[in-house]
Amino acid sequence: MTSHSQFRLLGQRRFLPFYLTQFSGAFNDNLYKNALLLLVTYSAGGLLGFSVDVVVNFAAFLFILPFFLFSGMAGQLADSLEKSRIIRVVKLLEIGIMTTAAVGLWFGWYELLLVLLFLMGTQSTFFGPVKYAILPQVLADDELVGGNALVGMGTFVAILLGTIAAGVLMGFETAARLTAVGVVVMAILGYLAARQVPPTDNRGAAALERLQPVKETWRLLTLAAEQRRVLLAILAISWFWFLGAAYLTQFPNFAKTSLLGDETVVTLLLALFTIGISVGSMLCEKLTGHHITLKLVPWGAAGLSLFGVDLYFAVPATPVASTWLTLLSDAEYLRVLLDLLGIGVCGGLFIVPLYAFIQHETPRFKRARIIAALNVMNALFMVVSALTGIVVLGVLGVGIPGFLLLLSLVNLIVVALVWRLSRHTTARSCG
């Protein structure tokens, strides 16, 4: 491990407490969301007279809605106030939300738990802009790609672990009460980590104006459009979230219908996809040579299409009932797993340089609002991804492998666009 390795940041106070804070938050979000959805699906059997499918989709809507409503306010606050202070307040609010959630879980008040999903989404909305805007203030330019890679890896690993933890807890008779204890403990640990985040330099911060949610969200999008290259980078990242949301949403039914797999196969697919993104993210620093450059982005985009097309042809024509062990030991299934791993790796190569580019190119006093604009676009693209899946799979009757093939072919347009963007972006030597 050289002195320039990104892992050395994990031993420094300017980075480690922030890293642990965001990791614990991502883990807790996914532990709570997935535990709630599993409880609704297998225990509650629907709520307020609605079917499970309606409740599950409504729950997803409640979590995403705050990103549309409050991202403008979140970005303005992050550009105006000292960032470590915002982080501590947000994590303190998480303790309050999760304590209330623990009561709801303990007594089975599912309607309350759905409302709390909206509050969790709100808390995540206010943490998002600070999460990426603080990195350029605490890291040198030649550390920015590596720092983003660590944050990206940590986020996806936390998502995976939180999802798995929720599934494991559902195997116990007292699943709801164990989850109640778990979410409160994780919220407290996150706050303790947040208290160690050093203060940032707030000189030259933007003035805090009157907070108007809808108006501020519109201002965000206008602000993001001021720099064409930054806007294109935002759209490219949002496209990845469109693609990623499509894969993650289809994994359960893809495992069940296309691979005839059990629940362990779903976990394996999710794990490989997440591990791939983490590996791709960690490779970025070495492959870019500590430069803030977009040269990897077209290659990552091309890999998303190539592995996605091969996945279509890799799905067995006559699958047999399978477990995670079957997939790992059968060469026919192994090709599917390698394709998903490749898609993940290419995804990491695709998004990490784009995040570093946006942070570097955006003026400091606008940075958090630009990140907030990115969050709005990500949420919008994920909603459109869900609607696209409903139309293609439900209305048009296309199978899941065919749907993923279609997305891989559409992604070729993105390959051409990011290739042009990278050609017109001068690589910056930062070391």
CA max distance for the chain: 64
CA distance linking residue 158 with residue 28, whole number of Å: 8
Please give the chain's pLDDT, 431 residues, in tens: 445 567 778 888 888 999 999 999 999 988 998 888 777 766 655 555 555 555 666 777 788 788 877 877 887 788 778 888 999 999 999 999 999 999 998 988 888 888 898 999 899 888 888 887 888 888 887 788 888 888 888 888 898 888 888 878 877 888 889 999 999 999 999 999 999 988 877 655 555 555 565 666 666 667 777 778 888 888 999 999 899 888 877 877 788 788 888 767 877 888 888 889 888 988 887 888 777 888 899 999 999 999 999 999 999 888 877 777 888 888 888 999 999 999 999 999 998 899 888 888 877 777 777 877 887 888 888 888 878 887 887 778 888 899 999 999 999 999 999 998 887 664 443 33
Cβ atoms within 10 Å, residue 36: 26
pTM > 0.85: no
Phi-psi label, residue 204: left if phi above 0, alpha if psi -120 to 50, beta otherwise = left
Planar angle of CA 373, 374, 379, nearest 5 degrees? 100
- Residue 148, token pair as written in the block: 């983003």
Long-range contacts of 396-403 (CB under 8 A, 24+ apart): 399/257, 399/258, 400/250, 400/253, 400/254, 400/257, 400/258, 401/254, 401/258, 401/311, 401/312, 401/315, 402/312, 403/246, 403/250
- In order, the DSSP letters of 372-430 are HHHHHHHHHHHHHHHHHHIIIIIIS---HHHHHHHHHHHHHHHHHHHHHHHHTS--B--
91: nearest Cα among 83, 81, 80: 83
Q: What was the pLDDT predicted at 211?
A: 56
- The pLDDT value recorded for residue 304 is 96
Q: CA 2 → CA 19, 243, 293, 352, distances in Å? A: 21, 35, 21, 21
Give the pLDDT confidence score for residue 205 in this predicted structure: 52
Residue with structure tokens 């991804």? 385
Q: What three-state secondary structure class fits 110?
A: helix
